[in-house]
Structure 1
Amino acid sequence: MDTDVTEPDRPRRDPADDEDEGSPFGPVGVVGAGAMGAGIAQVAATAGHAVTLVDAAAGAAAAAVERIGASLSRLVEKGRLSADDATAVRRRITPAEALDELPHCGLVIEAVPEDLDLKRRIFAELADLQPPTTVLATNTSSIDIDDIAHEVTDPERVLGLHFFNPPPVMKLVEVVHGERTARAFVEHAAALMAAWGKTPVRCSSTPGFIVNRVARPFYGEAQRIVESGIADAATVDWILREKGGFPMGPLELTDFIGQDVNLAVGTSVWEQTGRDERYAPTAFQRSLVEAGRLGRKSGRGVYTYAADGSVDDSVDGSEPDVELAERLVGGPVATDPLARTLAMLVNEAVDLVARGEASADDVDTAMRLGTRYPKGPIEWGREIGFDVVARQVAELDDAYPGGRYRPSPALTDGSLR
C-alpha cells in the first residue's frame, strides 16, 4: 500500500484533542447520524474511542448526539451505567457536518442510506482524506463491498461491518470482505469488534451476507403456505413459535419489520443472485405492500393492529387453528410449515457453507444472534439428519418444480458431518 498521506485543504483536528487521556484506542469516524449511525457511535464511544459523528444535513449529527445522551441517561436510570461513565461516553462523541472534519482515524464506518452512488462518493472521499492504514467500513446490509469500493484506489482496506439494530444491544456484527479486501484488515476489524464486546462472524460479500441470505426461506415458505391455502397466517405463526421455538412467527415478524422493508431486502437478494427462483418475492407480500398494508407501522399488514400495537383479536384470522396445526405438523413436508421451513433453512445454510462464503460455526452463530433462532441451521441439519433434509427438499422440488426447491449437493456429500 502507498504510505504517503495527502493532507486536505482544510486543517484537521488533532485526534489527541478528542481522545480521553490514557485511552488505548484510536479515533473512530461514523458517517451518517440516523438510528444505526448513532447507535454505532455510542458503541464505539462506550468502548473508549474518541468518535466523530458526521452527517451532511445541518444539525443532524448534533441532534443525534443529544439522542445518544438521552439513551445513556436511561441506562443510568436503569442502573446499567454509572453517571460518570455516561458523562465520559457522551464527551467522547463530537458532531460534524463534513468528512474533512474527521481526524485521522483507525476506523471509519459509513452508515448512510442504501444508495450505491452515495456510498461510492463517500468512500472515494474518505480514501483521499484518511491515511492508507485507516479501515474503511460500510454498514450496508445488502450492497456488494467491491461495488462500494469501486472508486477507492486502495480497495484492500474496504470491508463491511454490518451491525444489527439496535447496535448498543445486538451482539452480532457481520465482518464482510470483498474480493479485494486484504485479510489483515478483516482480522483487525474482527478483533476490534470483539474488543467492543460484539460477536464478529466473517463472510464474503455474497448477496444478503449470512443473515439476510439464510433467513429468506423463513419468510418465503410461510407466505407461500398462506398463499396456497394450506393454513392461515395465525396458524403458521403458531406452529413456528410453539412447535419450532422461534421467538416470533414469520408473518408477524414481517409485520414487525415492515412488509416494505422485508420485501426490499428480499428483492435485493433476488436481483443480486440473477433472479434465482429460490429468492423470488411472493405475490402475497407484493400485494400487501401495494395495498399499503406495511405492518404495525401502518396499522395493518398480515394482521390488523390496535392503537397500542397489539394484534386486534376482533378481526377474523387473528386466532390460530390449533387443531389444524396439530394435523399439519408431522405430515407430508409440503404441508408441514415447520418441517418445510427447517428443511429450506438448512438447505440454504449448507449451500452457503459449501460455496466457502462462511464457516458452519459462523453461520450458526449469526442466525442465533442476528435472528434469535433457537438453533443454528447447520446444528438443526445435524439433528434432523442431512440425508433426511435432502429427501424433504427433493419432495418439495417434485411438488413445486421450477428451481426454488433444488437440494444442495452438500446435503449428501458428507462435507458437513
Structure 2
Amino acid sequence: MGEQLPVVSLFSGAGGLDLAVERADADPLSAADPGSGLLKVSVATDYNEPALDTLRANFDGATTVSGDIREVPTEQILATAGLRASEPVLVVGGPPCTPFSKSGFWLEQKRESRDPNASLLDEYVRVVRESRPEAFVLENVQGLTYTTHRAQFERLLKALGELGYNPQWKVLLAADYGVPQLRRRVFVVGRRDGEKFEFPDQTHSGWSERDRKIDTTKLPHVTAGEAFADLPTVLRVSEDEIVAGQYGELAAEVPPGQNYLWHTDRYGGRNHFEWRSRYWTFLLRLDPNRPSTTLQAQPGPWVGPFHWENVRATDGVERARRLRAAEMLRLMSFPDDFKIAGNRADVQRQLGNAVPLELGKAVIRALMVQLGYITEQSESRFAVG
C-alpha cells in the first residue's frame, strides 16, 4: 500500500461518509472488500460523543475532535491530523439535517428556515476556505433544496463558488446505487481547480414514488427481502422491538407495503383513520419485494417502516415489530460487523442520520476518478452488464 491520501471529516456521525472514503474503490455491495486504502480519514469531528465512540470502535487508530464546530478552529482540526492548509485531499461531511428535514416541518421556525443550526452550513464553508482541500463533498437531506430553504442553499453555493470550487449539486436516490432503501440525499461537490464535477451514473433502476420508469439496462433495485435473506433467525423477541400501545393492534393488521391508509374506508382494514390524515410513514410496513423507505433517525412509536412479519408478544398476541440492528445495517449497506454501542433505538438514531455506504462510495469514487487518483481501467470493474 502506498502513501494514503488524507481526508478531513466534519459532522462525522456514525461514519457513513468516512466508510465511503476508506472503501471508495472497493467492489460494490461487497462487505468483504475493504478497498485499497487509497484514502484515509485523518481526523473526524463531531459534537456527539457516542457518535465518536462509534467511529473509534470501527476505524482503527481514528483521530477525533469532539466539540461544537462553531467553537473549534480549523487550525485545531488540521493540527490534530498533522496537516497544514492545502494538504487535505478531501473535506467531507453532512451538517446536521434537522433544520431542512420534512420531519421538522411542524415547528414554525423550521418551516420558515429560521433554525439556528442552519449556520452549520457556514461552518462547513469556513473549514473549506481555511483548509483548502483539493475537493470537498457535502451531503444533506433533499429538503435543503426546497423553496423554503432556497436562500440558505443559494448562499451556500455562492460562498463555495467564491472560493473557486465551482460547486455542483444533485439529489441522488440511494436505491439507484445498490442501497436497499428509497432514500434521497443532496450532494454538493466541488474541486479546487474549478473543473466541473460529473455525478456518477446510476447502476440500478426501479420504480419509486416519483418515477415509474425502469431502465432495463441497469440492475434492478435491491429489495428489503434480498437484503435480509441470509440474516440469522432470531428466536427471542426483544421487548423494544414490539409495536404496542394505542395502535399496536392496527399496526399488526397492516399488510406488507401498506400503512395507516389500510385502516381507512378506501381499503380492507378497519375504518379508523381519515384519508391522508397522517404522515406516509405512520404504521408503515416494509414490502419484501421493494427497497425500504427512508430509515428515520428518531421515529415516533408508531412510525415505520416496520418489518413485514409479525411476532408474538409475551401475552401471545401478534404484534408488528421494529427493525433489528442487523437489518438496519443492511438497509444502509453498512458492513454486518459495524459496531454501534447502545440499544436498538441508539442504533437507529445513528444510522438514520448516516450516509448509506454504497451511495457515498459512488460519489467519492467518481470524484477520485475525475481527480486522477483512480484510473478509468480500475473503475471499469464497477460497470454494469
Compute the TM-score of the two structures, normalised by the length of structure 2. 0.38
Higher strand content, 1 or 2: 2
Comparing both structures, which one devotes a greater share of its residues to helix? 1
Greater Rg, structure 1 or structure 2?
1
Relative contact order (alpha carbons < 8 A, sep ≥ 6): 1 or 2 greater? 2
Q: TM-score, normalised by structure 1?
A: 0.36
